[in-house]
Amino acid sequence: SQTIHQWPATLVQPVGSPLSLECTVEGTSNPNLYWYRQAAGRGLQLLFYSVGIGQISSEVPQNLSASRPQDRQFILSSKKLLLSDSGFYLCAWRSGSSGANVLTFGAGSRLTVL
């Protein structure tokens, strides 16, 4: 069965510090991968998506970046965090062979920037 792992689960970072969130998927190959952010009490904002190794599409211009060094690994990074980067970050995958609208999410990473 397919599983998605995301870490760390929680982190508190000072303004200006770097960030690295990691997501890996097991049990599937060539998945479409996504990074979303959710502010408290709000909907989901798509940040990046990737259809393959090294292929990254950015949805919102900001100080975040994403990389996909391996087929089932997706990393979200920042060189210098801002207060506005606080939120709940969710990685998700959609198999190319699955139903068009089914996303499976990781457990999420809750980031607080102080």
Partner 1 sequence: GQSLEQPSEVTAVEGAIVQINCTYQTSGFYGLSWYQQHDGGAPTFLSYNALDGLEETGRFSSFLSRSDSYGYLLLQELQMKDSASYFCAVRGGNNRKLIWGLGTSLAVNP
The CA-CA-CA angle for residues 5, 74, 7, to 5°, reads: 35
Six-digit token pair at 16? 């200006």
76, 66 in Cβ contact below 8 A? yes
Q: With contacts defined by CB under 8 A, name the span among 23-31, 60-68, 79-87, 96-104 that binds partner 1.
A: 96-104
**Piece of the chain touching partner 1 by CB under 8 A; list 18-26, 61-69, 70-78, 94-102:** 94-102
Confirm or reject binding of residue 103 to partner 1 (CB under 8 A). yes
Structure tokens at 84: 């506005």
Count of residues binding partner 1 (CB under 8 A)? 15
Decide: is 90 part of the binding site for partner 1 (CB under 8 A). Answer: yes
Residue 46 touching partner 1 (CB under 8 A) = yes
Contact indicator for 41, 88 with CB cutoff of 8 Å: no
